[in-house]
């Protein structure tokens, strides 16, 4: 596994963006700008505008779903320069969008504007994007890539787009800071832990699939989330959910929260947007977020976008004063808190 190691976090910033239902993580390594996924639509452009960024050195697309790849279209059409794209192939993704992306990136590569021939793969070499930050790609493994989406693995597990999600660990000065998991499902997780989990520990975990299903049933999802969180041992767990997403506005699912809290009862849990199941109504704030958050002005954000930098989140704890105050005042039904109270209460009654 290739890790590039450095000595100080100066200029290093990791932003987990509120892009609505979808994922996008921005990393400024100090010398390079990287995006892991780009969200569903043009929301990522607002962030790039705010940061006055018109050029991205590397985009990693975890898998072929619109809510991870749509922002790349917006970037390319708007004229944001993208130097290199590492993307997950999915021969069965018979959507027009995917076809558009294949043609667009192929044309751009032929014109020498983008390097886009790399397939995302476990253990690939991602050095050269800065001395302070290293990016470790932990999945998908070779057999999943070669069997391909639509196939069945030797355990009978159906390989789907989500199964082959890239799993990327971000380290700053050797400290594992963030694990980004795309839409990893239970089959992909089983491969990740075969024969044993690699070192997945990270200070923060971005949960898979926006707090949605990881498997066919609630029990499978809960077990998968629990196993993942237990392996990562995070201080903070983030969910990249979207309040207005059709039929998923109530993410994170109950079994996801339960699995996460049971595995890491003291970890903080924060969703980018305010789940409909925590608050049926919107909750407007009149403060300005540190960086663009898609749901902020409409009252859709919960924590919004999260910025990890220097001693706020990387070398020290992440300040959550504003978010906690927001929950205190505006979200009495915050399920992250209720679930924690329930699980901790259960543990206490078990031990007494």
Partner 1 sequence: MNLIVSNRERIAIVDDDKAVRDVYAYAIGGDEFEPVDQVGPLGSLDSFLGRHINATAAVSDHKLTQQGNYAQFDGAPLVARWYQKDFPAVLCTTYSVSSADHFRSFRRWIPVVLPPEQLSQETVSEGLGVVRAELAGVFKPERRPRRALVRFVEYVEQNRLVYVKLPGWGTDVVSLRVPDLPSGLRSLVTHVPDFRAYAQVNLATDSPNELYLAEWEFKS
Q: Segment 90-129, which members bind partner 1 (CB under 8 A)?
A: 95-97, 100-101, 104
Binding residue for partner 1 (CB under 8 A) from 29, 43, 165, 305? 43
User: With respect to partner 1, which residue has the nearer C-beta, 205 or 274?
Assistant: 274
Neighbouring C-alpha atoms within 13 Å toward the C-beta of 194: 15
Please confirm whether the linkage preceding 195 is cis (ω < 30° from 0): yes
User: 117: how many CB neighbours lie within 10 A of its CB?
Assistant: 12
- 304 is an interface residue for partner 1 by CB under 8 A: no
| Residue 41 is a binding residue for partner 1 (CB under 8 A) | yes
What angle (nearest 5°) sits at the alpha carbon of residue 94, between those of residues 89 and 99?
70
Between 4 and 63, name the residue whose CB sits nearer to partner 1: 63
CA–CA separation, 73 and 308 (whole Å): 26
CA distance 352 to 347: 9
Which CB atom, from 9 or from 71, has the smaller least distance to partner 1? Answer: 71
**Integer Cα distance of 132 and 145 in angstroms:** 30
Q: Hey, what's the torsion of the CAs at 310, 316, 317, 320, to 10 degrees?
A: -30
Minimum CB distance to partner 1, residue 96 (Å): 6
Q: Give the DSSP per-residue string, 255-297.
A: HHHHHHHHH-TTSEEEESB--TTT-SS-----SPPSS--TTTT
- Torsion angle in degrees (nearest 10) through CA of 85, 125, 312, 72: 10
Report the nearest approach of partner 1 to the CB of residue 292 (Å). Answer: 7
Least Cβ distance, residue 273 to partner 1 (angstroms): 11
φ and ψ at 171, to 5 degrees? -115, 140
Q: Does 79 bind partner 1 (CB under 8 A)?
A: yes
Q: Applying CB under 8 A, what is the total number of residues that bind partner 1? A: 28
Interacting span for partner 1 (CB under 8 A) from 23-31, 74-82, 155-163, 200-208: 74-82
Identity of the residue, 7 or 111, whose beta carbon is nearer to partner 1 in the bound complex: 111
Contact pick of 9, 71, 157, 208 for partner 1 (by CB under 8 A): 71
Interface with partner 1 in residues 313-352 (CB under 8 A): none
66 binds partner 1 (CB under 8 A): yes
Partner residues linked to 15 by β-bridges:
26, 307
Query: Among 257, 294, 307, 339, which residue sits at the site for partner 1 (rule: CB under 8 A)?
Result: 294
CB 16, CB 240: distance < 8 Å:
yes
Complex with partner 1: residue 97 or 173, whichever CB lies closer: 97
Which residues here bind partner 1, judged by CB under 8 A? 20, 40-43, 45-46, 66, 70-71, 73-74, 76-79, 95-97, 100-101, 104, 242, 244, 292, 294, 297-298
């Amino acid at each position: 596994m290739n890790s590039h190691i450095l000595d100080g976090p100066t200029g290093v910033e990791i932003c987990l963006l509120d892009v609505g239902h979808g994922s996008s993580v921005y990393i400024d390594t100090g010398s390079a700008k990287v995006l892991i996924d780009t969200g569903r639509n043009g929301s990522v452009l607002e962030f790039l505008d705010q940061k006055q960024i018109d050029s991205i050195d590397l985009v990693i697309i975890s898998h072929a779903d619109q809510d991870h790849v749509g922002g790349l279209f917006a970037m390319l059409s708007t004229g944001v320069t993208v130097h290199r794209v590492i993307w997950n192939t999915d021969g069965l993704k018979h959507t027009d969008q995917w076809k558009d992306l294949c043609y667009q990136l192929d044309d751009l590569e032929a014109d020498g504007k983008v390097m886009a021939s790399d397939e995302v793969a476990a253990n690939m070499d991602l050095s050269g994007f800065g001395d302070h930050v290293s990016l470790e790609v932990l999945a998908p493994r070779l057999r999943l890539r070669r069997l391909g989406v639509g196939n069945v693995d030797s355990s009978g597990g159906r390989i789907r787009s989500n199964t082959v999600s890239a799993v990327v660990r971000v380290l700053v000065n050797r400290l594992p800071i963030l694990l980004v998991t795309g839409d990893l499902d239970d089959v992909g997780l089983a491969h990740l832990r075969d024969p044993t989990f690699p070192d997945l520990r990270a200070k923060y975990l971005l949960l898979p699939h926006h707090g949605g299903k990881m498997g066919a049933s609630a029990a499978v999802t809960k077990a998968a989330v629990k196993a993942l969180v237990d392996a990562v041992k995070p201080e903070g767990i983030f969910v990249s959910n979207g309040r207005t997403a059709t039929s998923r506005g109530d993410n994170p699912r109950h079994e996801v929260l339960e699995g996460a809290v049971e595995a890491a009862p003291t970890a903080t849990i924060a969703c980018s947007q305010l789940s409909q199941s925590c608050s049926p109504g919107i909750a407007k704030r009149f403060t300005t977020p540190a960086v663009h958050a898609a749901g902020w002005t409409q009252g859709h954000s919960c924590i919004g976008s999260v910025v990890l930098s220097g001693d706020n989140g990387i070398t020290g704890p992440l300040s959550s004063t504003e978010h906690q105050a927001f929950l205190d005042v505006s979200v009495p039904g915050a399920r992250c808190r209720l679930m924690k109270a329930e699980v901790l209460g259960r543990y206490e009654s078990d031990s007494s």
